[in-house]
Amino acid sequence: MKNYLNIFILIVSYFFILLFVYAGISKILDFENFQVQIGQSPLLSSYAGIVSYSVIISELFIAFLLIFSQYRIIGLYGSLGIMTSFTIYIYLILNYSEFIPCSCGGILEKLGWEEHLIFNVCCVVAAAVSIFILEHVRKHWIKTLVSVTIMIILNCALVMILFFSSEQMIKKGNSFVRRFPHHLIIKEKSLDLKVNSYYFAGVSEGKIILGNYTNPMIITEVDPSMNNYRKQMIKLDNYDHGFKFLKLYVQGSEFYLADGTVPIIYRGTIKSHYAETVSYKKFYFDQIAVIDSVKIAFRTFNPKTMVRSLGILNTASGKYELNPNIIQKQKDGIFDTDGYLIADNQTDQYYYNYFYRNVITSADADQLFSSQHTIDTTSIAKVQSKMMTNGKIKMNAPPVMVNKMGTAVNGFLFNQSNLMGKYENRNQWKTNSIIDIYNTNNKSYRGSFYIQNKGDDKLIQMFATYEYFYTLIGNEIIRYRYAQAFASDLRKGNAENLTLE
């Protein structure tokens, strides 16, 4: 009987040696990909660096201990501990994770998460039984039971601590680790627009409204079925204002045409396609965001502070007010404050996201504002500029762009990032644009997804609504639908308890 027990211990030990050596070497040979997988884990994202190294070292060290009979009991305790950690990790993935990632590769590549859980439980049992058999010689039953129990509890507690702290760090204190839930958006339909000069102006009665850079007097309405589109010519009450760069904006049933170099703002209705002047030569601006039927946010240069400033125009009264505190100067006040201004499609909020630093500023029609950080770590704009003899400021070197463009709906901001995060695949960056989602209601990061390029054509612009996410790539407008759970929370405007498919 004793011989059979010894054979069982040897089989278990050699099995763990084979498992851990194979797993450890596989991770070393493909270490970058292993770190990427850990970085995308919904439980361990924030600790991908230390976990990736510690797992490999632990597996190889335990395998080394199991080789020698005098250290085998220590190796079996180590096997029990690490397999317990893997088991509780999978249990948390299946029951408490916001999304279920791809299964691991290597020797268990063909196993699903449930099968993997069963395999790990069997390994835990085998290690525990082997420990009891070895300790049977010493008759230390109570001591062995306590030791095995403590080992299991400690490893379960360790993984759970990593899980809860990682979740908090990812959402609130992220150090540039992205999370990619699977199928967050799913491509549904596309429509060939024939040319690539279109841009999103807004949405009206379920129709996506496009403007055209080469012909600013045309409104293009894309049918909700995404099968066709139609163009309508805009008529103005006055064509003598000498505009140079008119841009179209849509809010509900109304549209606006604006050119900040004149400066001029027209307003009309989608049905009539006729626009009247609502603001002329009141203030110069380079960006606007239509908040509602009365108020428009705009960006201008404030001669008093010598810095870009945001303001609100009341089209009903014709009055406007600047707030010099929303945009914050770091260096020159020109390049370091540059960014994009967008309106929320469903609220009276508008957002200013800096191009060269990790700050999103949310504001409302009353100019009450607050800020949150994007997940990258670029807190100081990496721009170099100098004052010329003519008084103008010019850049000395190309800046490091952090954020490129965005769209927002019901408190969620979709931001196209220009930086690669930790533990990400470089090949993905060559063929995709990356979009990060932020919940501005609770100031948290909610996840990321890729928008794939079409050959040499990259993402031109994006637009989010309650129902769909749209992109312009090359000559095409493409519609994506959200994962069901995310779509539900998007409509609520609160994703604190978001569960992604």
Q: Is the pLDDT of residue 7 over 90?
A: no
**Mean of pLDDT values over 362-377:** 91
Q: At what angle do helices 2-29 and 113-136 cross, to 10 degrees?
A: 140
Interval 457-485: pLDDT, tens: 999 999 999 899 999 999 999 999 998 87
108 — phi, psi (to 5°)? Answer: -105, 25
Cα angle, residue 17 at apex, residues 14 and 22 outer, rounded to 5° = 130
The reported pLDDT for the residue numbered 370 is: 94
The reported pLDDT for the residue numbered 334 is: 85
Cβ neighbourhood burial of 500 (10 Å; 0-12, 13-18, 19+): buried
* Residue 385 CB partners (closer than 8 Å, separation 6+): 331, 332, 334, 335, 336, 393, 394, 395, 396
Cβ–Cβ contacts within 10 Å for residue 110, how many? Answer: 8
Cβ neighbourhood burial of 283 (10 Å; 0-12, 13-18, 19+): middle
Domain 185-492: state its class. mainly beta
- For the chain, the structural domain boundaries read 2-172, 185-492
The dihedral region occupied by 423, where left means phi > 0, alpha psi between -120 and 50, and beta the remainder, is: left
**pLDDT-derived band at 182, boundaries 50, 70, 90:** confident
Q: At what angle do helices 48-67 and 2-29 cross, to 10 degrees?
A: 140
Query: Which two structure tokens, joined as six digits, stand for 237?
Result: 């009450």
pTM of the model: 0.75
Q: What is the DSSP letter of 106?
A: G
The reported pLDDT for the residue numbered 497 is: 36
**pLDDT, greater one: 3 or 146:** 146
Q: Look at 40-54, 95-109, 182-196, 372-386 and tell me which has the smallest mean pLDDT.
A: 95-109
Task: Identify any residues that bridge with 409 across adjacent strands, giving them in sequence order.
Answer: 412
CB 39 within 8 A of CB 31: no
Q: Among the residues of 234-283, which ranges form H helices?
A: none
- The SS3 of residue 268 is strand
What's the mean per-residue pLDDT of the chain?
86
Q: How far apart are CA 226 and CA 188, in angstroms?
A: 10
**pLDDT-derived band at 109, boundaries 50, 70, 90:** low
**Mean of pLDDT values over 4-19:** 90
Pairing of strands 369-373, 384-387: unpaired
**pLDDT-derived band at 105, boundaries 50, 70, 90:** very low
The reported pLDDT for the residue numbered 32 is: 74
Q: Look at 303-307, 402-406, 449-453 and tell me which has the smallest mean pLDDT.
A: 303-307
